[in-house]
C-alpha cells in the first residue's frame, strides 16, 4: 500500500530561494542552484518510494515547465500538483497557463489543478474515536480567504474556510 505524502514550495531553479536557504552566501551561481535542486531531489527520494503518492501543494518552481525536464522525472512517487502562484501553469498567468499546463502534465505528473479535495484516514492525532471515519480535506497552495493575514495578493484564488 503506497504512502501518501504532502509537500510544497520546493522552488526548483529559484535563485532567491537558493539564497534564502543558505545555498549561496554571496552572489547566486548556476552551481549554487544545481546544489540546491540536487539536495531537494535527494531528500525527496530518500523519503518517497516509487509507488507512493505525493501531493505537492504549489510553488514547484519559478521557471517554465520546459526547464524542469531534468528534475521532475527523477522524483519518486506519483505526483499530483496543486498549482501555486509561482507555477506557470496556474490560471493567474492568463492564457500562457494553457500551454504551461500541457507542458507540466507532459513532465509526468499524475494530476495538475488549482485545488483538490481528498479523504485522509482518521488517526488519533485527528481526533479519531472508535470508528475510523476519514476526514475530507481541501488542498490548496493559498491560505484561506479569512486567514489571519492582511496580505491582499491572489485573493481570488483563496478558498473559504467551511470547517
Cβ–Cβ contacts within 10 Å for residue 147, how many?
Answer: 11
User: How buried is 123 (Cβ within 10 angstroms: 0-12 exposed, 13-18 middle, 19+ buried)?
Assistant: exposed
At the topology level, CATH places domain 4-115 in Purple Acid Phosphatase; chain A, domain 2 (3.60.21)
The span from the first CA to the last CA of the chain, in angstroms, equals 29
Q: What per-residue confidence (pLDDT) applies to 85?
A: 87
**Which parts of the chain register pLDDT below 50?**
none
- The single residue listed with the C-alpha cell 472508535 is 130
Cβ-contact 135, 126 below 8 angstroms: yes
Domain assignments of the chain as residue spans, ordered by start: 4-115
pTM of the full structure: 0.82
Q: What per-residue confidence (pLDDT) applies to 149?
A: 62
Contacts of 30 (CB under 8 A, 6+ apart): none
Instruction: Give the CA-trace dihedral at 71, 111, 106, 62, to 10 degrees.
Output: -50
CA-to-CA distance for 123 and 72, rounded, in angstroms?
Answer: 31
Q: For residue 147, how many C-alpha atoms fall within 13 Å in the half-sphere facing its CB? A: 12
DSSP SS3 for 32: helix
What are the cell numbers at 74?
527523477
| Beta-strand runs (E) in the chain | 4-7, 53-56, 78-82, 111-113, 116-120, 135-139
Quick: pLDDT tens for 92-137. Answer: 889 999 999 999 999 999 999 998 989 887 765 555 555 567 777 8
Amino acid at each position: 500500500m503506497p504512502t501518501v505524502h504532502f509537500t510544497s514550495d520546493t522552488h526548483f531553479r529559484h535563485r532567491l530561494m537558493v539564497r534564502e536557504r543558505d545555498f549561496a552566501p554571496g552572489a547566486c551561481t548556476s552551481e549554487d542552484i544545481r546544489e540546491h535542486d540536487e539536495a531537494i531531489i535527494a531528500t525527496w527520494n530518500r523519503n518517497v518510494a516509487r509507488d507512493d503518492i505525493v501531493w505537492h501543494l504549489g510553488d514547484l518552481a519559478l521557471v517554465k515547465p520546459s526547464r524542469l525536464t531534468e528534475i521532475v522525472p527523477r522524483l519518486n512517487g506519483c505526483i499530483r500538483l496543486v498549482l501555486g502562484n509561482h507555477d506557470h501553469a496556474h490560471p493567474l498567468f492568463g492564457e500562457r497557463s494553457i500551454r504551461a499546463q500541457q507542458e507540466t502534465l507532459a513532465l509526468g505528473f499524475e494530476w495538475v489543478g488549482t485545488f483538490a479535495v481528498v479523504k485522509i484516514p482518521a488517526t488519533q492525532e485527528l481526533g479519531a474515536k472508535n470508528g475510523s471515519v476519514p476526514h475530507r480535506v481541501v488542498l490548496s497552495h493559498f491560505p484561506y480567504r479569512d486567514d489571519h493575514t492582511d496580505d491582499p495578493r491572489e485573493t481570488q484564488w483563496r478558498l473559504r474556510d467551511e470547517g
